């Protein structure tokens, strides 16, 4: 089974997505266990894959036994294995959480379809990460995006409109990506990433290749909501069901960032990316703008989910910035931040979902004394918030450490200032909430009876708790994670 893991990790969720419909129509309550078990299997497969990669080196899995570059190849190195673990763990945790939250937020007859689409989304995301073929990557990107549109649209009253924007932007992004693939196919006749790596260097001066590269970068930038192409994200993630917000916020942008790294540093050589066009220079400044814009907008929000969405825009800026400085520290920081940010986002969005579940709103101004009602949830919120600010020893600090070291080594002092400034703004945004919750100046200590403890069901509480605790653990394990996986993913020449 170990040899077949690369295909199983995609095939199993795809298969279960379809089987879910007959089972679900037979008995609606079956959908939830099916999803949880499937995502758990994905975690197991991703563990098997990572284990193989760490011990035996890269995996090349040929679909149907066809030789690459003609057949589709699943090529897995340390970066892929790392991404697989993140995506599968997040999908498993969110799946566990989904039961109660979905019951509350989605009409009963839709739950079966919800889980089917959820599994399709998982398939798409895992597929993007395992595949070693640019066109195949496009196919999975579209599976994930279409599933994403559908899931977002299930949400609140305003979700369909938000989804429409999302579809328009997302489709443009996908088109650009596909154009890029097409141009490369014209000049090289190949779609296989390993093959392209060998074929492209003699063609680096070609205008077609340069255009293809530009299409790739812009296309993926839309998908990861890099400022100023982020406009679809805040609405979509605010109005989506809480479970969906948590899952897509943690994985979609991160997998997009993975695709960007792949194209920039594997399909094209780092020397090309860093020198041929001023891409990285531009990306660096755009990323700075994203950090500033995201944080400033986050400060102005009263809606917790919308605030988190804007912080996500800023976090995408962090990841892109790290890649753009073009050195080892920056790259490690980016890749580490993919993990940290995805876990922080899950924790925070899951907390937002828990508050929605109990309170029916998520207006920051009405959070007073919520910690007395939901002590564990709010405690976890504080841990995740502190990690988001980047206070050691939580996970968030260590990726920022590498990001800033990278910027310093590249002598980009402005970037250092932006990174620190945005940390400060994130701190303000979260302390506003913490203060509203824990220290609300209630005029009447005596009039109000003490709020009764009323936590969310354990099915929701446990995922929140696990994710927050993991933020502390990951912080301490950062060094091991880097040694084991990330440092092998650093492109040559850095």
Q: Is 409 in the site for other proteins (CB under 8 A)?
A: yes
Q: Which of 11, 187, 210, 421 binds other proteins (CB under 8 A)?
A: 421
Closest to other proteins by CB, 80 or 423: 423
Of 295, 398, 280, nearest to 339 by C-alpha is 398
CA of residue 467 relative to chain centroid, distance? 15
Q: Is 392 in the site for other proteins (CB under 8 A)?
A: yes
- Partners of 306 in the beta sheet? none
Least Cβ distance, residue 372 to other proteins (angstroms): 10
Contact residues for 235 (Cβ-Cβ < 8 A; gap 6+): 158, 161, 162, 165, 166
Alpha-carbon span 471 to 339, nearest angstrom:
10
Q: Which of 442, 448, 454, 458 binds other proteins (CB under 8 A)?
A: 442
Q: Is 398 in the site for other proteins (CB under 8 A)?
A: yes
Query: Which one of 31-39, 101-109, 208-216, 414-422 is the stretch in contact with other proteins (CB under 8 A)?
Result: 414-422
Of 386, 390, 385, nearest to 420 by C-alpha is 390
**Spatial contact of 6 and 74, defined as CB atoms under 8 Å apart:** yes
Query: Which one of 174-182, 287-295, 456-464, 476-484 is the stretch in contact with other proteins (CB under 8 A)?
Result: 476-484
Site string for other proteins, 306-325 (x = CB under 8 A): --------------------
**Spatial contact of 182 and 175, defined as CB atoms under 8 Å apart:** no
Q: Which of 416, 462, 472, 484 binds other proteins (CB under 8 A)?
A: 416
Least Cβ distance, residue 472 to other proteins (angstroms): 12
# residues contacting other proteins (CB under 8 A): 33
Q: Is 330 in the site for other proteins (CB under 8 A)?
A: no
Written as one string, the DSSP assignment of 366-424 is: G-TTHHHHSHHHHHHHHHHHHHHHT-TTSHHHHHHHHHHHHHHHTT-HHHHHHHHHHHH
Q: Is 431 in the site for other proteins (CB under 8 A)?
A: yes
Contacts of 137-143 spanning 24+ positions with Cβ under 8 A? 137/259, 138/174, 138/177, 138/178, 138/181, 141/174, 141/177, 141/223, 141/259, 142/174
Alpha-carbon torsion, ordered 96, 102, 103, 104, to 10 deg: 120
Q: Is 399 in the site for other proteins (CB under 8 A)?
A: no
Query: Which one of 21-29, 118-126, 339-347, 422-430 is the stretch in contact with other proteins (CB under 8 A)?
Result: 422-430
Q: Is 390 in the site for other proteins (CB under 8 A)?
A: yes
Closest to other proteins by CB, 298 or 482: 482
Closest to other proteins by CB, 56 or 444: 444
Q: Is 391 in the site for other proteins (CB under 8 A)?
A: yes
Closest to other proteins by CB, 76 or 295: 295
Q: Is 207 in the site for other proteins (CB under 8 A)?
A: no
Of 324, 72, 68, 63, nearest to 198 by C-alpha is 68
Of 376, 333, 366, nearest to 436 by C-alpha is 366
Q: Is 299 in the site for other proteins (CB under 8 A)?
A: no
| Binding site residues, other proteins, CB under 8 A | 386, 389-393, 398, 401-402, 404-405, 408-409, 416, 420-421, 423-424, 427-428, 431, 435, 438-442, 445, 475-476, 478-479, 482
């Amino acid at each position: 089974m170990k040899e077949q893991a690369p295909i199983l990790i995609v095939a199993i969720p795809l298969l279960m997505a379809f089987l879910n419909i007959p089972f679900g129509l037979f008995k609606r309550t079956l959908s939830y266990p099916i999803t949880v078990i499937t995502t758990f299997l994905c975690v197991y497969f991703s563990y098997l894959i990572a284990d193989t990669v760490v011990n035996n080196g890269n995996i090349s899995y040929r679909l149907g036994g066809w030789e690459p570059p003609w057949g589709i190849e699943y090529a897995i190195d340390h970066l892929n294995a790392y991404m697989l673990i993140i995506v599968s763990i997040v999908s498993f945790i969110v799946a566990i959480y989904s039961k109660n939250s979905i019951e509350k937020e989605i009409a009963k007859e839709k739950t079966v379809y919800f889980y089917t689409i959820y599994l399709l989304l998982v398939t798409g995301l895992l597929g993007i990460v395992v595949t070693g073929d640019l066109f195949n990557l496009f196919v999975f990107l579209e599976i994930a995006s279409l599933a994403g549109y559908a899931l977002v649209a299930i949400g609140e009253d305003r979700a369909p409109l938000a989804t429409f924007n999302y579809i328009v932007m997302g489709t443009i992004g996908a088109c650009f990506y596909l154009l890029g693939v097409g141009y490369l196919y014209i000049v090289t006749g190949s779609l296989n990433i390993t093959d392209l790596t060998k074929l492209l260097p003699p063609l680096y001066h070609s205008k077609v290749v340069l255009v293809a590269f530009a299409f790739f970068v812009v296309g993926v930038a839309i998908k990861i909501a890099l400022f100023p192409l982020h406009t679809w994200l805040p609405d979509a993630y605010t109005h989506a069901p809480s479970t969906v917000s948590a899952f897509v916020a943690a994985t979609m942008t991160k997998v997009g960032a993975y695709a960007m790294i792949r194209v920039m540093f594997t399909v094209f050589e780092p020397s090309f990316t860093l020198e041929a066009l001023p891409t990285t220079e531009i990306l660096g400044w755009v990323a700075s703008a994203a950090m500033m814009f995201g944080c400033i907008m986050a400060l102005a929000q009263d809606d917790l989910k919308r605030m988190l969405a804007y912080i996500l825009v800023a976090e995408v800026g962090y990841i892109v910035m790290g890649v753009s400085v073009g050195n080892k520290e920056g790259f490690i920081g980016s890749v580490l931040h993919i993990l940290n940010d995805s876990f922080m986002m899950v924790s925070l969005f899951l907390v937002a979902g828990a508050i929605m579940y109990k309170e029916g709103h998520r207006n920051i101004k009405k959070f007073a004394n919520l910690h007395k009602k939901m002590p564990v949830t709010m405690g976890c919120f504080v841990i995740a918030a502190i990690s988001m600010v980047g206070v050691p020893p939580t996970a968030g600090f260590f990726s920022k450490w590498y990001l800033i070291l990278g910027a310093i080594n590249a002598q980009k002092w402005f970037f250092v200032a932006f990174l620190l400034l945005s940390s400060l703004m994130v701190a303000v945004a979260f302390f506003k909430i913490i203060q509203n919750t824990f220290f609300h100046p209630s005029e009447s200590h005596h009039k109000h009876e003490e709020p009764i403890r009323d936590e969310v069901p354990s099915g929701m509480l446990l995922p929140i708790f696990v994710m927050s605790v993991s933020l502390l653990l990951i912080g301490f394990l950062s060094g091991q994670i880097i040694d084991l996986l990330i440092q092998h993913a650093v492109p040559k020449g850095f």
